[in-house]
Amino acid sequence: MKIRIAHLSDPHFGANYPEVVNALTSSMKDLKPSLIILSGDITQRARCEQFVAAEKFVQQLAEFPWAIVPGNHDIPLFNIFARLFYPYKYFKNVFKGLLEKEIPVKSVHVFTLNSTSRFRHVQGALSAKQIKKIVADPLAETDVRIACFHHPMDCPKTVDEKNLLRNRDEAMQVFAKAGIDLILGGHIHDPYVNLSGERYPNVKRQSIISVAGTCLSWRTRAGAPNSFHLIDIDTADKKIPRLVITRYDLQSNKQFTPILVQSFFRDLAQGWIKN
Ligand SMILES: [Fe+2]
Ligand SMILES: [Fe+2]
């Protein structure tokens, strides 16, 4: 069984290139994913009109199911009253019922988690309750499990260490116990894919950590233009599922093109291994 997921992140509506929206929409229509995951920083400042722009984009791709989590930019920054008393008002208005959810797509289960908080400006964390909810879920051993939240579990540059999920060590232990296969995030606008064993050597079962870049925003970093990840999961062999992550970068002709392909397979004892 083949499942294709498009992982988009950090569009920052309100600080985005309008012309890239069309390029991204046509890529999605060409690639026909079974699910589109959007891992936060949907807007630049959590303003009503920015959520309306995001909603328009999502509606253009309404033929696909969506899994969406908020980022630190999706809760008000300057309006302290709104931040404290209704931080997710517009998110909930636009993406009804999507704040934290388990989304099954055939034998793949996607858990969306909210790593933002009204009490933190930039940094992200998950509560013990949030991560334990995943462990409690009884799934078949052969299923593939994906956890998605805005703040990343790994990064390629030391300057971004401060942006990693605060309680990542504790979270990683729980994810391994729960058999989470793939952990998706965004936030640093620097696309990166790695096995968990490098950053978390004490956790025996390896997961794949995949951080998507910014798909639409002009807040790009050196060597990382607008991009997204395409995740192809093949569960035909139930004992050894395979997973391929392809990074698509925006080129000067204003089209997204595949530039990097990384393949993995799962060994029931060790977790994920690079092909
Ligand atoms: Fe961002
Ligand atoms: Fe962010």
Residue 121 reports pLDDT greater than 80: no
Residue type, 43: T
DSSP assignment letter at 226: S
Q: Is 146 left (phi over 0), alpha (psi -120 to 50) or beta?
A: beta
Cβ neighbors of 77 (< 8 A, separation 6 or more) are: 45, 46, 83, 121
The model's pLDDT over 216-260, given as tens digits with 9 standing for 90+, comes to: 999 999 999 999 999 999 998 888 999 999 999 999 999 999 999
Ligand (nearest to CA of 42): 1
In this prediction, residues 57-78 reach a mean pLDDT of 93
Q: How far, in Å, CA of 110 to CA of 264, rounded? A: 18
Looking at CATH, the fold of the domain delimited by 2-274 is given as Purple Acid Phosphatase; chain A, domain 2 (3.60.21)
Q: How far apart are CA 184 and CA 108, in angstroms?
A: 14
CA 217 – ligand 1 centroid, Å: 8
Per-residue pLDDT reduced to its tens digit, 129-139: 887 777 666 66
Closest CA to 12 of 162, 172, 215: 215
Q: Which ligand is nearest to the CA of 10?
A: 1
* Distance (Å, whole) CA 264 – CA 207: 10
pLDDT score of 83 more than 80: no
- pLDDT of res. 260: 98
- Classified as helix, coil or strand, 218 is coil
For residue 263, the model assigns a pLDDT of: 98
Ligand closest to Cα of 163 equals 2
pLDDT at 90 over 80: yes
Instruction: Decide if 124 contacts 115 (C-beta within 8 A).
Output: yes
- Residue 142 confidence (pLDDT) above 80: no
Measured in Å, residue 160 CA sits from the centre of ligand 1 at 12
Distance 215 CA to ligand 1 centre (A): 10
More confident site: 123 or 120: 123
Q: What was the pLDDT predicted at 93?
A: 85
- What whole-number distance in Å separates Cα of residue 157 and Cα of residue 145? 27
CA of 31 to the centre of ligand 2 (A): 26
Domain boundaries, the chain: 2-274
* CA 7/CA 148 separation, integer angstroms: 10
Cβ distance 65 to 98 under 8 Å? no
The 10 Å CB-count burial string (b at 16+, else e) for 152-183 is bbbbeeeebeebbbebbeebbebbbebbbbbb
Tokens, residue 196: 């968990």
Annotate 76-87 with b (16+ C-beta within 10 A) or e (fewer): beeeeebbeeeb
Which 3 state secondary structure label does DSSP give 213? Answer: coil
The pLDDT confidence band at residue 141, using thresholds 50, 70 and 90, is: low
Average pLDDT over residues 194-222: 96
